[in-house]
Amino acid sequence: MDINTTKVSEAVHAFTKIVSKEYGDGENTGTVGYILGGWDPDTHIPECYHFVFKPSAEPSIVPLAIGEAKFFGCPEFFTRVFHGYDSRLPNNILRELKKLKFNPAEGSLDQAFAEAFKNAAAPLAAVGFGDLPIREAIDYVHTYLHITIKAFKFRFGPPICGGPIEIAFVSSDRNFRWVCHKSFERAIYEQEVQDD
């Protein structure tokens, strides 16, 4: 495939075929997800897709809307900052309400609570523009990664993420570019700093 002429739809098809072949060998039991994006060489219209591969199932390929952000891995710390509360809070509150033995008609408590919580929480979210300029979008991604790394650094147990952050992007007028990219010597220097 020539990266200068390949359409996003062609890359999606090729990627799905490669991963399905490797994933479908019968030894995989977990779920695997990917994000693939780019723009068509002729039109420069961007496209992005979220892939999910599950055992004994066809891969799920969902297109993402322009301006849509998706967070995977450990998003709970970032959502606490972005929305003003942990993503698990609504379910926790609902569970505690149900423990009080308050039983109105089935489903009405759930629906009323969801609507009330949504309305009450809306002003708490740190929502900005959905069409950020590229520099601010890069800073947004870096902030998310940095918050997650720091949150796991200071909680109990070994951190499951960390190290230097690497960010790259593809804009509608140019191909792949690095924003920040660590050198191979960083592994040596960082280990020496940690051991001192």
First to last CA, the chain: 48
Q: What is the pLDDT of residue 106?
A: 57
Whether the pLDDT of residue 182 is over 70: the answer is: yes
Residues 50 and 104 in one domain: no
Q: Are 173 and 191 in the same domain? A: yes
For residues 109-134, average pLDDT: 74
**pLDDT recorded at residue 127:** 66
pLDDT at 112 over 80: no
Q: What is the pLDDT of residue 23?
A: 78
Write down the pLDDT at residue 179.
Answer: 94
Are residues 4 and 61 located together in one domain of the fold? yes
Whether residues 151 and 177 share a domain: the answer is: yes
Q: Based on the structure, what is the number of domains in the chain?
A: 3
Per-residue model confidence (pLDDT) at position 195: 45
Is residue 121 scored above 80 in pLDDT? no
Residue 168 falls within a domain, yes or no? Answer: yes
Residues 150 and 188 in one domain: yes
How do residues 19-61 score in pLDDT, each as one tens digit? 888 877 666 678 888 999 888 888 888 899 999 988 878 889 9
**pLDDT of amino acid 45:** 87
Indicate whether 93 and 108 sit together in one domain: yes
Would residue 61 count as lying in a domain? Answer: yes
Residue 26: the pLDDT is 62
Domain ranges, residue 158: 130-196
Q: What's the pLDDT at 72?
A: 77
